[in-house]
């Protein structure tokens, strides 16, 4: 019994001992767990701190991003403005270009359509001359001559107008041009057509710088200015023409001077207009396109042309051209 | 194909003044005996292909066709295209005689196989010389397949 009791006791003891042990163990475990939990809590707190810091950081980054976004937006707005400006400029340019093209096409087709009736006038008046001249009296033949003469004049006008219209469309092929050499060759060519006259050209001492431009257009400028000089010195026994360069006049300017009939400075504004003339056809022939052409060529090269004149003493035409400095 | 008069030169020109002047110049050089004058592109095609108004006037083909470009109804380029794309007519020499100096007209004409392209000079004496030269070259000098 005792033994049983013992045993039982022992057992019980053992049992209770086990229980205590287990309790303790459990407590230990619990404590450890609590500790772990505590630690964990700390960790969590740390974690929360880190999270908060991260959030702060993120917030800062966000703020930064917002700033950068705003900057970007401002930049984009600016770009848009620039784009809009450019678009406007392009539109204006396109409009100008199309207006220009339209004008060119118009003057070209006008010049073209003027040709046909003119050809008919010359053609049929010549037919009358060929087939019926013997049946006309002197006055009749004179009238017919006048018709032909005027048809020719009209033809020259159309030619000049065509040249003027073509000038706007023509592509410029630029090269370096020695102005003195070109002037000399143009002058010799033109003077050769006036064998009965005494015409001298003088080149001033200043070396003239070369021009960078379209050589056929610049040549046209020289042809028109020099043939004017030759034409308007016709009443002079000794025609004097001078070509030179004035480095100190503005950015440097070329000039062609003559001792011809000159012009009244009051009509200066008419000098470079198309079909504007300061002399009657009976005095000096011409269509009134020459100086307009000069003006247009110089302007297309980014230069300027102007003139000075004194009645009965002569005229001077000045012009600037790129590369002339 | 018939006992019709043979035509050596066909002129397609809508401007009656130019047409009369061309005829006169050719006549003065004895080149206008076998000349036919047509006033628009539709007539030109009808004549060449023996259709419409010209159904009974079919001809083997002239030595040359002088063709204006600005024509009523069917323009010159279209007439040229039809001539050069048809077996019956593509060997006939075609000379464009026009006031147009536009590059696109020139290019179109040569793309279609034009035999010559001449612009009408503005001055009558030069015009007269061009027409006479053309007549002499194509009617007397040039050897064509058609006749």
A208 Cβ contact list (under 8 Å, min separation 6): A179, A180, A244, A245, A254, A324
Question: What pLDDT does residue A163 have?
Answer: 77
The verdict on residue B40 lying in a domain is: yes
Give the end of a domain, one of A135, A169, A203: A169
**H-helix or E-strand spanning residue A255:** strand A253-258
Statement to judge: residues A217 and A91 lie in one domain: no
**H-helix or E-strand spanning residue A177:** strand A174-177
Give the end of a domain, one of A121, A150, A169: A169
Judged by a CB distance cut-off of 8 A, whether residue B106 touches chain A is no
Partner residue opposite A123 with nearest CB, options B99, B100, B124? B124
The verdict on residue B3 lying in a domain is: no
Which residue's entry shows tokens 């008419």?
Answer: A270
Tell me how close the Cα of A175 comes to any Cα of chain B, in angstroms.
Answer: 25
Partner residue opposite A120 with nearest CB, options B17, B99, B128? B17
Q: Report the percent of chain B where pLDDT is more than 90.
A: 50
Give the end of a domain, one of A169, A197, A220: A169
Q: What's the domain range around B113? A: 9-141
The verdict on residue A122 lying in a domain is: yes
**Token pair of A81 as six digits:** 């403005």
Statement to judge: residues A157 and A182 lie in one domain: no
The Cα A145–Cα A134 span in angstroms is 14
Please give the residue of chain B at the shortest CA–CA distance from A159. Answer: B122
The verdict on residue A325 lying in a domain is: no
The Cα A213–Cα A302 span in angstroms is 10
Query: Do residue A119 and residue B122 have CB atoms under 8 angstroms apart?
Result: yes
Query: Do residue A115 and residue B21 have CB atoms under 8 angstroms apart?
Result: no
Mean pLDDT of B35-42: 91
Question: What pLDDT does residue B23 have?
Answer: 95
Q: Does residue A317 have a pLDDT over 90?
A: yes
- Long-range contacts of residues A293-296, Cβ cutoff 8 Å, at least 24 apart: A293/A160, A293/A163, A293/A164, A293/A167, A293/A220, A293/A221, A293/A224, A294/A220, A294/A221, A294/A224, A294/A225, A294/A319, A296/A164, A296/A167, A296/A168
Q: State the CB neighbour count (10 A cutoff) for residue A200.
A: 12
The verdict on residue A238 lying in a domain is: yes
Question: What pLDDT does residue A224 have?
Answer: 94
Q: Chain A residues within 8 A (CB-CB) of chain B? A: 112, 115-120, 122-124, 126-127, 151-152, 155, 158-159
Question: What pLDDT does residue A242 have?
Answer: 94
Q: Contact at 8 Å (CB) between A298 and A304?
A: yes
Could you tell me the pLDDT band of residue A189, with boundaries at 50, 70 and 90? very high
Statement to judge: residues A179 and A165 lie in one domain: no
The Cα A11–Cα A288 span in angstroms is 143
Tell me how close the Cα of A191 comes to any Cα of chain B, in angstroms.
Answer: 26
Partner residue opposite B123 with nearest CB, options A120, A122, A127? A122
Count of domains for chain A: 2
Give pLDDT tens digits for A12-47: 556 666 777 778 878 887 777 777 777 777 777 887
A18 Cβ contact list (under 8 Å, min separation 6): none
Q: What's the domain range around A258? A: 175-319
Mean pLDDT of B93-106: 86
A131 Cβ contact list (under 8 Å, min separation 6): none
Taking every pair of Cα atoms in chain B, the longest distance, rounded to a whole number of angstroms, is 42
Count of domains for chain B: 1
B-chain CB neighbours of A115 within 8 Å are 99, 120, 122
Query: Do residue B120 and residue A127 have CB atoms under 8 angstroms apart?
Result: no
Question: What pLDDT does residue A14 have?
Answer: 62
Q: Contact at 8 Å (CB) between A258 and A315?
A: yes
Judged by a CB distance cut-off of 8 A, whether residue B128 touches chain A is yes
Total CB pairs under 8 A between chain A and B: 43
B-chain CB neighbours of A119 within 8 Å are 17-18, 21, 120, 122-124, 127
Question: What pLDDT does residue A127 have?
Answer: 93
Statement to judge: residues A119 and A250 lie in one domain: no
Least Cα distance to A122 among A91, A145, A92, A94 occurs for: A145
Mean pLDDT of B35-62: 83
Statement to judge: residues A74 and A187 lie in one domain: no
Q: What's the whole-model pTM score?
A: 0.57
Statement to judge: residues A189 and A41 lie in one domain: no
Partner residue opposite A158 with nearest CB, options B120, B122, B124? B122
The verdict on residue B83 lying in a domain is: yes
Question: What pLDDT does residue A50 have?
Answer: 83
Least Cα distance to A229 among A253, A257, A250 occurs for: A257
Statement to judge: residues A131 and A233 lie in one domain: no
The verdict on residue B4 lying in a domain is: no
Statement to judge: residues A164 and A183 lie in one domain: no
Give pLDDT tens digits for A161-172: 777 777 777 788
A279 Cβ contact list (under 8 Å, min separation 6): A261, A286
Please give the residue of chain A at the shortest CA–CA distance from B119. Answer: A112
Statement to judge: residues A226 and A308 lie in one domain: yes
**H-helix or E-strand spanning residue A43:** helix A2-132
Q: Which CATH number goes with the domain that contains A258? A: 3.30.565.10
Could you tell me the pLDDT band of residue A325, with boundaries at 50, 70 and 90? very low
The verdict on residue B147 lying in a domain is: no
Tell me how close the Cα of A113 comes to any Cα of chain B, in angstroms.
Answer: 9
The Cα B54–Cα B61 span in angstroms is 14
Judged by a CB distance cut-off of 8 A, whether residue B14 touches chain A is no
A223 Cβ contact list (under 8 Å, min separation 6): A186, A190
Span between the terminal Cα atoms of chain A, in Å? 139
Interface test with A, best of B122, B128, B131 (most A CBs within 10 A): B122
Statement to judge: residues A181 and A98 lie in one domain: no
Give pLDDT tens digits for A289-303: 889 999 999 999 999
Q: Report the percent of chain A where pLDDT is more than 70.
A: 92
The verdict on residue B96 lying in a domain is: yes
Statement to judge: residues A70 and A191 lie in one domain: no
Q: Does residue B4 have a pLDDT over 50?
A: no
B-chain CB neighbours of A170 within 8 Å are none
Question: What pLDDT does residue A283 have?
Answer: 80
Judged by a CB distance cut-off of 8 A, whether residue B120 touches chain A is yes
**Token pair of A218 as six digits:** 């610049």
Question: What pLDDT does residue A16 have?
Answer: 65
Partner residue opposite B99 with nearest CB, options A115, A127, A155? A115
Q: Contact at 8 Å (CB) between B122 and B17?
A: no
Q: Does residue A2 have a pLDDT over 50?
A: no
Please give the residue of chain B at the shortest CA–CA distance from A125. Answer: B124
The verdict on residue A284 lying in a domain is: yes
A-chain CB neighbours of B122 within 8 Å are 115, 118-119, 155, 158-159
Question: What pLDDT does residue B19 have?
Answer: 94
Query: Do residue A118 and residue B122 have CB atoms under 8 angstroms apart?
Result: yes
Q: Average pLDDT over chain B, rounded to whole?
A: 87
Give pLDDT tens digits for A110-141: 766 777 788 899 999 999 999 998 999 999 99
Give B17's Cβ-side CA count (13 Å radius).
14
Judged by a CB distance cut-off of 8 A, whether residue B15 touches chain A is yes
The verdict on residue B86 lying in a domain is: yes
Statement to judge: residues A91 and A211 lie in one domain: no
Query: Do residue A123 and residue B15 have CB atoms under 8 angstroms apart?
Result: no
The Cα B25–Cα A283 span in angstroms is 37
Read off the DSSP letter of residue A269.
Answer: G
Give pLDDT tens digits for A214-264: 998 999 999 999 999 999 999 999 999 999 998 888 888 999 999 999 999
Give pLDDT tens digits for A66-81: 888 888 899 889 888 8
Partner residue opposite B122 with nearest CB, options A126, A127, A159? A159
The verdict on residue B38 lying in a domain is: yes
Least Cα distance to A199 among A238, A225, A242 occurs for: A238
Q: Which CATH number goes with the domain that contains B23? A: 3.40.50.2300
Q: Contact at 8 Å (CB) between A230 and A224?
A: no
B-chain CB neighbours of A122 within 8 Å are 123-125
Give the DSSP letter string of chain B. Answer: --SPPP-SEEEE-S-HHHHHHHHHHHHHTT--TTEEEE-SHHHHHHHHHT-GGGTT---S--SEEEE-SS-SSS-HHHHHHHHHTSTTTTTS-EEEEES---HHHHHHHHHTT-SEEEEPPSSHHHHHHHHHHHHHIIIII---S--
């Amino acid at each position: 019994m005792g033994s049983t009791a013992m045993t039982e006791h022992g057992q019980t003891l053992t049992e209770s001992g086990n229980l205590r042990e287990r309790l303790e163990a459990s407590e230990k475990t619990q404590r450890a767990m609590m500790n772990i939990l505590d630690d964990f809590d700390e960790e969590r707190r740390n974690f929360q701190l880190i999270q908060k810091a991260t959030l702060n950081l993120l917030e800062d980054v966000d703020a930064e991003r917002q700033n950068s976004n705003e900057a970007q937006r401002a930049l984009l707005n600016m770009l848009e403005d620039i784009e809009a400006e450019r678009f406007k400029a392009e539109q204006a340019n396109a409009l100008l270009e199309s207006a220009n093209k339209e004008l060119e096409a118009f003057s070209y087709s006008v010049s073209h359509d003027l040709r046909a009736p003119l050809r008919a006038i010359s053609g049929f008046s010549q037919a009358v001359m060929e087939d019926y001249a013997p049946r006309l009296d002197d006055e009749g033949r004179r009238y017919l001559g006048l018709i032909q003469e005027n048809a020719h004049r009209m033809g020259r006008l159309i030619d000049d107008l065509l040249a003027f219209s073509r000038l706007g469309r023509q592509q410029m092929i630029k090269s370096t041009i020695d102005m003195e050499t070109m002037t000399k060759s143009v002058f010799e060519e033109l003077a050769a057509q006036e064998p009965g006259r005494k015409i001298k050209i003088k080149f001033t001492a200043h070396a003239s710088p070369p021009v960078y431009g379209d050589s056929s257009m610049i040549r046209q400028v020289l042809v028109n200015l020099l043939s004017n000089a030759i034409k308007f010195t016709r009443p002079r026994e000794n025609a004097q023409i001078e070509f030179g360069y004035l480095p100190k006049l503005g950015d440097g300017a070329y000039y062609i001077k003559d001792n011809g009939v000159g012009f009244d400075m009051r009509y200066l504004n008419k000098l470079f207009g198309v079909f504007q003339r300061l002399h009657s056809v009976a005095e000096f022939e011409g269509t009134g396109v020459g100086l307009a052409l000069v003006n247009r060529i110089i302007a297309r090269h980014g230069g300027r042309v102007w003139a000075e004149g004194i009645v009965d003493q002569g005229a001077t035409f000045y012009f600037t051209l790129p590369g002339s400095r | 194909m018939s006992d019709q008069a043979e035509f050596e030169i066909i002129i397609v020109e809508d401007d009656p003044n130019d047409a009369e002047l061309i005829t006169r110049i050719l006549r003065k050089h004895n080149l206008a005996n076998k000349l036919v004058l047509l006033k628009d592109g539709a007539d030109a095609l009808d004549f060449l292909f023996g259709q419409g108004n010209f159904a009974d006037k079919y001809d083997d083909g002239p030595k040359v066709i002088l063709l204006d470009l600005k024509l009523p109804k069917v323009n010159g380029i279209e007439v040229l295209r039809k001539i050069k794309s048809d077996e019956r007519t593509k060997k006939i020499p075609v000379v464009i005689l026009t006031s147009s100096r536009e590059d696109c007209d020139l290019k179109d004409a040569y793309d279609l196989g034009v035999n010559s392209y001449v612009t009408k000079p503005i001055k009558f004496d030069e015009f007269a010389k061009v027409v006479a030269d053309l007549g002499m070259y194509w009617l007397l000098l040039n050897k064509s397949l058609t006749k």
